[in-house]
């Protein structure tokens, strides 16, 4: 049986992690009686934690919001996730939050155990951040996968993993990891593929690391003269996607670069530029092109041009009867 102080911390952790607990559930978790649970709940209330109780068979205990923020209990993965998130926020991207994030991160790092501080520092040191707009929905990546990759890069150990390709097939890859790149809500690994004898970029949400890790390696000269952010930006919209395309945009390259759109942009002259983009869905690529707000011409592939035609026809059908309905409505109105 846990001592009173340790039991209170465990009880608080359970209340913070669950919407509502019944008294018998908490008693079973802590191996005490329901009477002890009632007494411990009162102790938590005395310490300022607003624990609400609902009577009856369907009732239970839940932790509510209080007037002041009580201390939080975090497990290892929660602490790492919070520290990494605060570090990203402190680096900018959300107006007015940088200073608060720095203060919160300093407080958190002060109390982090050394084992967790090492994980956080490794992940931050081996991550490159590319700012820009974040898509509405991006694949989730577990903290365990990120820290496994970052640790392998730090220790110069080869990484073996199962990788799921565009078509759903899985291959085993053996790489020398260099850096993680966080680009607009999605994580990428830049690594030297030993069996394919070249630098590659992998989407981390498609990576499933194998254990144990491979032998140590001597770091190679990184691609793009060390600018891994530029390397990922250049390749992410071509080889990383099922479909790729080239579009001539009737706008200066500087104007489109200022929008942080994502695709590679090459100036043609003062009034036009080339966009090299990619995606897993041609119709989605066609819709995205409509968002940039400039005239454009699809150079390749023909399938992307066909998707743009289909989208334009759908838009035309959406408004084809508008003028006729407006005229009929006007004719029926009294003058």
Sequence-distant (6+) residues with CB within 8 A of 70 are 47, 48, 49
Specify the long-range contacts of residues 188-194, CB closer than 8 Å, at least 24 apart.
188/232, 188/236, 188/240, 189/149, 190/222, 190/223, 190/228, 190/231, 190/232, 191/159, 192/220, 194/158
pLDDT number for residue 107:
65
pLDDT number for residue 72:
65
The full 3-state SS of the chain, as one line of letters, equals CCCHHHHHHHHHHHHHHCCCECHHHHHHHHCCCHHHHHHHHHHHHHCCCCEEEECCCCCEEEECCCCCCCCCCCCHHHHHHHHHHHHHHHCCCCCCCHHHHHHHHHHHHHHCCHHHHHHHHHHHHCEEEECCCCCCCCCCCCHHHHHHHHHHHHCCECEEEEEECCCCCEEEEEEEEEEEEEECCEEEEEEEECCCCEEEEEEHHHEEECCCCCCECCCCCCHHHHCHHHHHHHHCCCCCCCEEEEEEECCCHHHHHCCCCCCEEEECCCCCEEEEEEECCHHHHHHHHHHCCCCEEEEECHHHHHHHHHHHHHHHHHHCCHHHHHHHHHHCCCC
Which residues sit opposite 278 in a β-bridge?
244
Global pTM reads 0.50
Give the residues of the chain that fall short of pLDDT 70: 1-2, 18, 57-58, 66-73, 86-107, 109-111, 130-138, 184, 236-240, 260-262, 322-335
Give which of 185, 165, 162, 20 is closest to 93, Cα–Cα.
185
CA–CA dist 50, 66 (Å, integer): 6
Packing angle, helices 34-46 and 23-30, rounded to 10: 100
């Amino acid at each position: 049986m846990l001592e009173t102080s340790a039991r209170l911390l465990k009880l608080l952790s359970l209340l913070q992690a669950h919407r509502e607990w019944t008294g018998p559930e908490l008693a079973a978790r802590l191996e005490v009686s329901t009477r002890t649970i009632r007494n411990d709940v009162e102790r938590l209330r005395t310490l300022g934690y607003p624990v609400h109780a609902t009577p009856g068979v369907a009732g239970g205990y839940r932790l509510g919001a209080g007037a002041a923020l009580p201390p939080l209990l975090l497990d290892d993965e929660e602490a790492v996730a919070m520290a990494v998130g605060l570090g990203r926020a402190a680096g900018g991207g959300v107006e007015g939050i940088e200073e608060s994030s720095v203060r919160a991160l300093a407080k958190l790092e002060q109390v982090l155990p050394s084992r967790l501080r090492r994980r956080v520092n490794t992940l931050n040191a081996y991550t490159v951040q590319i700012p820009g707009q974040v898509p509405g929905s991006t694949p989730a990546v577990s903290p365990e996968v990120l820290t496994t990759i970052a640790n392998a890069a730090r220790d110069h150990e080869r990484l073996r993993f199962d990788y799921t390709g565009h078509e759903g097939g899985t291959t085993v890859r053996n790489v020398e990891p260099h850096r993680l790149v966080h680009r607009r809500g999605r994580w990428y690994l830049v690594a030297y593929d030993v069996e394919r004898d070249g630098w590659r970029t992998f989407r981390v949400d498609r990576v499933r690391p194998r254990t144990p890790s491979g032998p140590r390696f001597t770091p190679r000269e990184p691609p793009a003269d060390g600018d891994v952010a530029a390397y990922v930006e250049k390749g992410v919209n071509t080889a990383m996607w099922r479909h790729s395309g080239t579009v001539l945009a009737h706008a200066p390259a500087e104007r489109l670069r200022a929008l942080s759109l994502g695709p590679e942009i090459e100036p043609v002259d003062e009034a036009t530029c080339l966009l090299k983009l990619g995606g897993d869905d041609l119709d989605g690529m066609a819709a995205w092109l409509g968002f940039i707000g400039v005239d454009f011409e699809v150079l390749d592939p023909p399938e992307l041009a066909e998707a743009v035609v289909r989208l334009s026809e759908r838009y035309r059908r959406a408004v084809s009867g508008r003028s006729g309905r407006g005229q009929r409505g006007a004719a029926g109105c009294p003058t």
